[in-house]
Amino acid sequence: MLDHCIKCNICTNACPVAAVSDRFPGPKYVGPQAQRFRRVGQPVPDAAVDYCSGCRICNLVCPTGVPIAELNARARAQMVAERGLPLRNWLIAHTDLIGRLSAGPQAPLVNALLGWAGTRWLAEQCLGIHRHAPLPRATRYPFRARKQPRLGRGKQVVYFHGCATRAYEPHVGAAALAVLARQGYEVLVPPQNCCGLPLLSNGDFAAARRAHMANVRHLWPYVQAGVPIVGTSTSCTLTLKEEAPELLDLHSHEVQAVAAATYDIFEFLRHLAERGELCDAVRPLEQELPYHMPCQYRAHRIGQPVVDVLSMIPGLRLKLSPAASCCGIAGTYGLKREKYALAQAVGRPLFSFITQTGSSLALCDSETCRWQISHATGVATKHPIELLAEAYEL
């Protein structure tokens, strides 16, 4: 695939990081070009690849089909293997652990502590997490399914909630369960852990492999029984579908079957719509709302399922964010002290698009993107599934 790169720099021109920073020379340079100088057992030639945010826009726009973002992710992992993972990156990459420690009865205390400027200053000095970085507020009542139906009766789906729904946004999970139930599905929420994306993007491939294989073990019995897996976090579903198997070279039958059975929730609903099985008893919502399709959602390469499905709501008009715009956060990237300002600069065109719409609410599928958008613009954000649940009057 390397030889397909003809050095046309289309990717560099589309790269949101290279557009705002001299620290990142662009996907072509750190990807296909630097790759020719990377050899096993030799030191990494250029550390600039660490400034790749992993948004994957380069992959999408490449006219010759070079998987540039993958080259970058592997190069970063090689760097981590050589130099070790800094404590800060270890911490923020373990979203599962952090979520479990923060959510629950102790949440008010955790939130108060993290809301205090002194703690944030200390975290910046000691850990390198930027003091203004958008951190989510932990919930007192972590997401869990109320009743657990047994496998194998009627129409069923597995809901993959991801770390954020569990620890910070249980309302997104509740909306997803309600919308899926409205379609006549019983929703199973089996044990699951972090998809491993934060570990992958921080270069800890060994931990990512453990996380992915644990998920495959958890999900395999359902997949075997023909039950699809549906997620609300576009980056979790992308990781289950593609990023983990490809980057970690996991190609067993179970891994492939789990990948093939995983759907983003709107992708799943669109399939239902195409078969005429989507419930269309929605109430009109007279609203014009900005909608940002996250980079990780575009990377599914399935078009715009949210736009397709929400088009059935009378009165609702979605204003799409500019093509290839990025909020900059890229999961944990924009939390880092040295990358916070850069991530804000990356997101500026998107932020001004959202503020210019004058709307007090914006829609976006990815949790970290929502937090970044709300942080930068002051505009409230929702997952589109919450809006659909409203339209169903759930």
Partner 1 sequence: MHYDTIIIGAGLAGLSAALRRAALGERVLVLAKGYGASGWTAGCVDVWAAGDAPLSALATLVRSRPQHPYALVGLEALQRGLEWVRTLAAAAGYPLVGGWERGLRLPTALGALRSTCLVPLTMVAGESRQLADGPLLIAGLRELRDFFPPLIAENLRAQGYAATGCYLQMPPGERQRECTPLHVAQCFEQAHVRANIGQQLRTHVRQGGYRRIGLPGVLGLHQAPAVVAELQALSGALIFEIPTLPTSVPGLRLFHVFEQAALAAGVRMQVGGWVVRAEAEGQQLVAVYSRAAAREQRHSARRWVLATGGMLGGGLRSDAHGHIIETALGLPVAKPYSRAEWFDPLLFAPGGHPIFQAGIAVDPQLRPLDAEGRVVYENVAVVGGALAHYDELREGCREGVALATGYGEEQKNR
The answer to whether 347 touches 320, Cβ cutoff 8 Å, is no
Give whichever of 30 and 164 is closer to partner 1, judged by the CB atom.
30
**Could you tell me the smallest distance in angstroms from the CB atom of residue 331 to partner 1?**
17
**Of residues 272-291, which lie at the interface with partner 1 (CB under 8 A)?**
274
Per CB under 8 A, does 65 bind partner 1? yes
**Could you tell me the smallest distance in angstroms from the CB atom of residue 18 to partner 1?**
7
Write a three-state SS string for 82-146: HHCCCHHHHHHHCHHHHHHHHCCCCHHHHHHHHHCHHHHHHHHHHHCECCCCCCCCCCCCCCCCC
> 104 in the Ramachandran plot: left (φ > 0), alpha (ψ -120 to 50) or beta?
left
Per CB under 8 A, does 323 bind partner 1? yes
**Of residues 241-270, which lie at the interface with partner 1 (CB under 8 A)?**
241-242, 259-260, 262, 270
Per CB under 8 A, does 341 bind partner 1? no
Per CB under 8 A, does 25 bind partner 1? yes
Q: Which of 127, 308, 345, 355 binds partner 1 (CB under 8 A)?
A: 308
Strands (E), 125-257: 156-160, 186-188, 229-231
d(CA 152, CA 331): 35
Per CB under 8 A, does 385 bind partner 1? no
Strands (E), 283-367: 287-292, 316-320, 361-364
* Span from 9-17, 111-119, 129-137, 197-205 in contact with partner 1 (CB under 8 A): 9-17
Residue where the block lists tokens 């970290």: 368
* Span from 11-19, 204-212, 335-343, 360-368 in contact with partner 1 (CB under 8 A): 11-19
**Could you tell me the smallest distance in angstroms from the CB atom of residue 180 to partner 1?**
20
Residue where the block lists tokens 């990156």: 89
Tokens of 379: 């505009």
Q: What is the dihedral of CA 192, 305, 151, 149, to 10 degrees?
A: 80
**Could you tell me the smallest distance in angstroms from the CB atom of residue 352 to partner 1?**
15
- Write out the residues near partner 1 by the rule CB under 8 A: 7-10, 12-14, 18-19, 22, 25-26, 29, 59-65, 238, 241-242, 259-260, 262, 270, 274, 298-304, 308, 323-324
